[in-house]
Amino acid sequence: MRHGCKVNHLSRTHAHRVAMLSNMATSLIMHKRVETTLAKAKALRVYVEPLINRSKEDSMHNRRMVFSYLHSKEAVNELFREVSQKIANRPGGYTRILKTGIRKGDNAEMCIIELVDYNENMLKEPKTKKAKSTRRGRGSRRTEEAVAATETVETATAEAPAPEAVATEVPAAE
């Protein structure tokens, strides 16, 4: 029975689960995104968000606390130097989980967990899209092109002299 067990054990022993989450958190901090299963991503979010929150205040105590979870000097330096600068004014929600489908082998639900401020595609400002014209049929576009073509032909003929006028002027001059 489950009765109040709040931790997803992920079919692992405690030591294995802690080591796996530590490695995944290190990979997330170093690479800014990790592809994994949905259950692991949800467990990783609970594990890594308090660590990111600690990085807002750069003190020796906070660095040692984070190091006790990550066991990687490079990840701790990356977190306190670069990641903390980007999330300084964010009150929470430092990670984003994007579902990508199911894994073919075991039908596990896959996803990408990433740091929110590092996704360049989502940080771009959306381009203003042209309003789509409704397509009413196959001939409507052709008739618009034909009307535009006849208008250009009419303006070109109005500007150029008529060929008969040129032909009549030449014999008169001889």
pLDDT at res. 8: 92
H helix count then E strand count, the chain:
8, 3
The pair phi, psi for residue 77, each rounded to 5°, is: -65, -45
CB 43 within 8 A of CB 28: no
Tokens matching residue 58: 């750069």
pLDDT at res. 125: 75
pLDDT digits (tens, 9 = 90+) for 25-35: 999 999 999 99
CA atoms within 13 A on the CB side of 43: 20
Instruction: Of 2-16, 24-38, 120-134, give the lowest mean pLDDT range.
Output: 120-134
Burial annotation 26-62 (CB, 10 A radius, 16+ → b, else e): bbbbeebebebbbebbbbbbebbeebbbbbeeeeeeb
The DSSP code for 9 is -
pLDDT at res. 137: 64
Output the CA–CA distances (angstroms, integers) from residue 113 to 4, 14, 40, in the order listed.
Answer: 26, 22, 10
Categorize the per-residue pLDDT at 140 as very low, low, confident or very high, splitting at 50, 70 and 90.
low
**pTM given for the model:** 0.69
Helix (H) or strand (E) holding 96: strand 95-102
- Alpha carbons 18 and 6: distance in angstroms, whole number: 15
pLDDT at res. 162: 55
- Give yes or no for residue 160 having a pLDDT over 60: no
Place of tokens 């294995």: 16
